[in-house]
């Protein structure tokens, strides 16, 4: 007998069941508790849902998780839906497009997809997504000190120093489990870097910047000290995207031939990778 498959919103009452589904069928290395945190981010949102699910005979057989936020981008107040996790059981893959259409039918939202893999980038292109400039230089983090530069991740220093939009972004992300916060200071001011630990070939040795705030010139001048700090955290490499940092770090390194795609649908496009699975989920 053919099973009926329905597309339903992921409400708060469905989070635990969807998290168990993603743990079993998408990535078992990510604990259920982490999938739950992905669907319950620490910032406020106007959306009551967490994306959409495929349900058959009261069983979750597919899910497309969205991370929702309200942001100011280029002077405009916009609602953003980050497409955070997509998984459908093989025997129900013919219904995958129904999930995507349900997500994209949410009107007056900008969509981001910051870690699409497999066939998803090509599918996104057909649905009107555009590629962000994800040019990446893999940079070697070396030991050393910057004259007149201090680097810290101390929460009290961050809270005392950050102002304006940087302070608001920090408050929203200080409890985001994958986000790390770096303060670079000189007598002239500060730079603020949010980064995550990433894996390449199963090696968790790479820092990926998600946001650069404060004074970009201080970040550029203090990059050697920041890299030395990251090295001390067990991160010998930085996956540096000039679009995020505002510059391409010099020193030993090379351009990646095939950087991971970053995509969006709608304008204006976010200038960073905050309010997303990259800040909320380690894998």
- The verdict on residue 56 lying in a domain is yes
Q: Is 169 helix (H, G, I), strand (E, B) or coil?
A: helix
Q: Is the pLDDT at 5 greater than 60, yes or no? A: yes
The boundaries of the domain holding residue 158 are 137-259
pLDDT at 64: 98
Q: Is the pLDDT at 109 greater than 90, yes or no? A: yes
- The verdict on residue 90 lying in a domain is yes
pLDDT at 1: 55
Sheet holding 203-214, edge to edge: 150-152, 180-186, 189-200, 203-214, 237-240, 137-140, 253-255
Q: Which tens digits make up the pLDDT trace of 215-251?
A: 999 999 999 999 999 999 999 999 999 999 999 998 8
| CATH code, 160 | 3.40.630
Tell me if 226 sits within 8 A of 182, measured CB to CB.
yes
Q: Which tens digits make up the pLDDT trace of 40-96?
A: 999 999 899 999 999 999 999 999 999 999 999 888 899 999 999 999 999 999 999
- The verdict on residue 270 lying in a domain is no
| CATH code, 44 | 3.40.630.30
What number is the average pLDDT over the span 145-153?
Answer: 88
**Burial group, residue 85, by CB count within 10 angstroms (0-12, 13-18, 19+):** buried
Q: Is the pLDDT at 282 greater than 80, yes or no? A: yes
What number is the average pLDDT over the span 264-271?
Answer: 92
pTM of the model: 0.94
> CA–CA distance from 92 to each of 6, 13, 87, 133, 189 (Å)?
11, 23, 10, 34, 54
Q: Is the pLDDT at 146 greater than 90, yes or no? A: no
Please tell me the total count of domains within the chain.
Answer: 2
Token readout for 58 is: 């009261």
- The verdict on residue 234 lying in a domain is yes
pLDDT at 251: 87
Q: Is the pLDDT at 17 greater than 70, yes or no? A: yes
pLDDT at 2: 67
């Amino acid at each position: 007998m053919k099973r009926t498959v329905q597309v339903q919103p992921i409400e708060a009452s469905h989070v635990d069941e969807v998290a168990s589904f993603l743990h079993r069928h998408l990535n078992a290395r990510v604990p259920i508790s982490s999938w739950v945190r992905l669907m319950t981010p620490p910032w406020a949102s106007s959306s009551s849902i967490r994306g959409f699910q495929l349900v058959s005979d009261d069983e979750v057989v597919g899910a497309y998780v969205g991370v929702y936020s309200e942001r100011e981008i280029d002077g405009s107040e916009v609602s953003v839906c980050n497409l955070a996790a997509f998984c459908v059981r093989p025997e129900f893959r013919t219904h995958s497009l129904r999930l995507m259409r349900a997500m994209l039918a949410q009107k007056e939202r900008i969509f981001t997809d910051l870690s699409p893999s497999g066939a998803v980038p090509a599918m996104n292109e057909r649905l009107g997504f555009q590629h962000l400039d994800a040019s990446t230089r893999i940079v070697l983090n070396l030991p050393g000190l910057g004259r007149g530069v201090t680097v810290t991740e101390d929460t009290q220093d961050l809270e005392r120093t950050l102002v304006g939009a940087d302070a608001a972004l920090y408050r929203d992300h200080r409890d985001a489990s994958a986000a790390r916060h770096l303060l670079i200071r000189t007598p002239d001011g500060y730079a603020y870097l949010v980064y995550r630990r990433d894996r390449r070939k199963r090696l968790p040795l790479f820092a990926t910047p998600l946001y650069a705030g404060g004074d970009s010139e201080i970040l550029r001048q203090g990059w050697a000290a920041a890299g030395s700090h990251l090295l001390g955290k067990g991160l010998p490499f930085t996956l540096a995207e000039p679009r995020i940092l505002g510059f391409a770090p010099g020193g030993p390194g090379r351009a990646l031939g095939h950087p991971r795609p970053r995509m969006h649908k709608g304008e204006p496009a976010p200038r960073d990778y905050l309010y997303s699975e990259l800040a909320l989920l380690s894998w």
